[in-house]
Structure 1
Amino acid sequence: MDRTRTDAPTAPVETGVLERIRTGASDLSEAMSKVAGQVLADPEAAARATIMDLAELSGTSPGTITRFCRHLGYDGYAALRVAIATETGRASARHETGWDVNIGREIGPDDPLDRVLKQLITIDAAMLRDTIDTLDLAAVERVATRVSAAGRVDVYGVGSSATVARELQMGFYRTGVAAWAWTEVHDALASAALLGERDVALAISHSGTTAETIEMLSEAGTRGAFTVAVTACPEAELAEVADVCLASAARRTSHRADLLASRHSALLVADLIHIAVAQRRFPAASEALESRARAVVGHRPTPRPRNGAG
C-alpha cells in the first residue's frame, strides 16, 4: 500500500483537470501515477467510476485515490469526478453533476418506485452473494473463538458503520459477552487504552480508510488486544493494522445505493460472527438469552383475545 507523502495540495486553477494531470504526472508518486494513467486513458470511465472502481482499475487503493485528489486541489473524489465529467461533456445535462454523481446512473429521477425497488434489490442481492463467495470462513472461526473467550470486546465504527457496530455489540451482549460499541473517537481511544491480551477489538469500515477507526483499532492493538477489521477493502490501511481481516463484498456500481447494500453485507458478516460466538458459548449463551427474556417479560404487552374469545 502506497504511503508516499506528497506536497500540500494546490487549489484548482482554470486549466482543465486532464491537462493538469498530464503536465504534473512527473511530480506524482508511483502509485498516484497509476491513477493518473488510468484517468487519462479513459476519462469518461473515471467520471462514472466510484472511488473503489478507480482503485481497482488502477491497481492502487482508495487511500491513494484520495491523496491523488488532494494533490490536484480537490476536497475528495466526488469533486474530481464532477470536474472530469464537466470537461468530458458528461455534465451537459443539468442533473449530471448532481444526480449522477451523488445518486447514480442506474436510477433516474423520474423512475417509478417499482423499478427503483427492483434496482435496489438487485444491487443488494448481488453484494450479499459476493460476500458469501469471498468471506474467509476459517478467519470467522478464529475470530469467534477469540471473542467467545474474551474478557471484554470493543466494537468500533463511525458514520454509517456505526449502525453495524451497534448491531454486532448487541448481538454479543445478548449472548452474555461483555461488549461495548464505540462510535466516537475520544471515548473509543479511552476504552481501547484499557484493553489487554485477553480482549478483542473489532473495527468496521466499508472503505477501510476512515482515520478515526484506524486509530481506534491501532490503539487496541498496541495494548495487546486481538484486533479484527471488517471492511470491503482488505488492501486498505485498516486491514493492515488488524490481526485478522474479514472482507465484506464491495460490488462497485455508479449507484449511491451500493453504500446501503455494503452496510447489509457488513451486517451479514456481523450476524455470522455473532451466531458463531453463540454456538461456542452454548449453553451459557442460551441461559443469557433466557435471563434477558425473563427480565423484560413484565414490560411486554398482554396479547389481546381473538374475536369471539371470552
Structure 2
Amino acid sequence: MLEKISSVKQFSDADEVLQNYIFRNLETVFTLSAREIAVQIPCSPSTVTRFVRKCGFDSYHDFQRYVKNEVSQLAGKGMTDTISLEQIFVNQVFAEDVLEQVETVSSLLKQASFIYCVGMGSSGIMANYAARKFNTIGFKAMYSNEPYAPFLSTQMKEDNSIMIIFSSSGETTEIIEMVQLLKSSSNQIISITNTHDNTLARLSTINIPYYIENQRLPYNFDLSSQIPTVALIEYLVAFCFNKK
C-alpha cells in the first residue's frame, strides 16, 4: 500500500510530517491541492511539490491519481465510489492553479481591443463557441478554423488584441506555423491544449492545459472529449462578465 511514498528513506523533518499527514488522511488527501495540504501542515506549497517529486512522481496530479487508485483498491471499490464527479473534474483534469490561470487570462481579455479565436477540426468548433460567448457579453471577438485566413494579419495589427488558440495536441503544423509568424508581434497568445508539454504551449504567452486521454482512430480521426475545453470557455466568459 502506497509503496512509492513509504519506501523513500531520506526525508527532511518537513517531509516526514507530510508523509504522516498523507497516511492519516488517505481518504481525502487526493482531493486536496498542494496549497490546501500546505495550509494543514503548515508549510509552503513548494514543500509539498518537492515532496511528491522525491517520491518519484512527475507532477502533483500523478501523486493524486496514485493515492486515489491505491485507496480505491484497498477499499475494493471503483473510483466513482471514492470521489465525486466534481472532484475528479477539478483535481484530475485541470492543473491545481487553473482558477488563477483563468482569472489572469480573463483580466487580459477584459482589456483587449479584440479577441481572435482559432482552431481546426473539433478545436475549430470550440473557437467558434468561444467567440460567440464573448460576443454575447459585449466583447469584440471572431473565430476562424482556417489559420491562414486573409484577415488574420489585419486583425492582429490592432493594438492590444489577443489570440486564443484551441488545439488538443498542440502540435498541428498549420497552427504552429501561424503562431511562429505572430511571435514577432506584441499581442498576447493564449493557448488551451491537452497537457502542457507541447510546442504550442511553449510558444504561447499563457497556456491553460487540461489532462485527458487522447482517443484517436485510424486516419487521424479524433474522438477525444472537448468537455474540459467547454468548461474553460465557460469559466473565462463568467470571469470576464463579472469583471465588466
Q: Could you say which structure has the larger radius of gyration?
A: 1
Cα distance, 1:224 vs structure 2: 1.3
- Does 2:74 correspond to 1:151? no
3-state SS of 2:142 partner: strand
Cα distance, 1:130 vs structure 2: 2.4
Larger % of strand: which? 2
2:164/2:190 contact within 8 Å kept: yes
Counterpart Cα distance in 2 of 1:279 and 1:218 = 33
1:197/1:223 contact within 8 Å kept: no
Q: Aligned in 2, Cα 1:214/1:192: closer, same or farther, shift over 3 Å?
A: farther
Q: Aligned in 2, Cα 1:253/1:184: closer, same or farther, shift over 3 Å?
A: closer
Equivalent residue, structure 1, for 2:17: none
Counterpart Cα distance in 2 of 1:135 and 1:253 = 26
Counterpart Cα distance in 2 of 1:269 and 1:246 = 9
Give the CA RMSD over aligned residues. 3.2
1:214/1:238 contact within 8 Å kept: yes
Cα distance, 1:269 vs structure 2: 1.0
3-state SS of 1:245 partner: strand
Cα distance, 1:204 vs structure 2: 0.4
1:80-133, Cα deviation, whole Å (9 max, x unpaired): xxxxxxxxxxxxxxxxxxxxxxxxxxxxxxxxxxxxxxxxxxx9x966762245
User: Which structure carries more relative contact order (alpha carbon 8 Å, separation 6+)?
Assistant: 1
Counterpart Cα distance in 2 of 1:135 and 1:221 = 26
1:248-290, Cα deviation, whole Å (9 max, x unpaired): 222357899xx54531111111111111111111xxxxxxxxx
1:197-238, Cα deviation, whole Å (9 max, x unpaired): 411101000011011222333334322111101001311000
Paired AA for residue 243 in structure 2: R
2:95/2:210 contact within 8 Å kept: no
5+ residue gaps, structure 1, are 1-58, 60-122, 282-310
Counterpart among 167, 184, 188 of residue 146 in structure 2: 184
- Does 2:241 correspond to 1:278? yes
Paired AA for residue 193 in structure 2: T
Q: Aligned in 2, Cα 1:174/1:221: closer, same or farther, shift over 3 Å?
A: farther
Q: Aligned in 2, Cα 1:127/1:225: closer, same or farther, shift over 3 Å?
A: same
Paired AA for residue 186 in structure 1: Y
Q: Aligned in 2, Cα 1:156/1:252: closer, same or farther, shift over 3 Å?
A: closer
Cα distance, 1:135 vs structure 2: 5.6
5+ residue gaps, structure 2, are 1-57, 59-84
Paired AA for residue 239 in structure 2: A
- Does 2:230 correspond to 1:267? yes
TM-score (normalizing by structure 2): 0.56
Equivalent residue, structure 1, for 2:175: 213
1:25-60, Cα deviation, whole Å (9 max, x unpaired): xxxxxxxxxxxxxxxxxxxxxxxxxxxxxxxxxx9x
TM-score (normalizing by structure 1): 0.45
Counterpart Cα distance in 2 of 1:156 and 1:254 = 21
Paired AA for residue 275 in structure 1: A
Equivalent residue, structure 1, for 2:194: 232
Matches within 5 A, 1:1-310: 130-132=92-94, 134=96, 136-187=98-149, 190-195=151-156, 196-251=158-213, 260=223, 262-281=225-244
Counterpart Cα distance in 1 of 2:225 and 2:96 = 14
1:166-194, Cα deviation, whole Å (9 max, x unpaired): 1111110001110010111221x641454
Counterpart Cα distance in 2 of 1:255 and 1:170 = 30
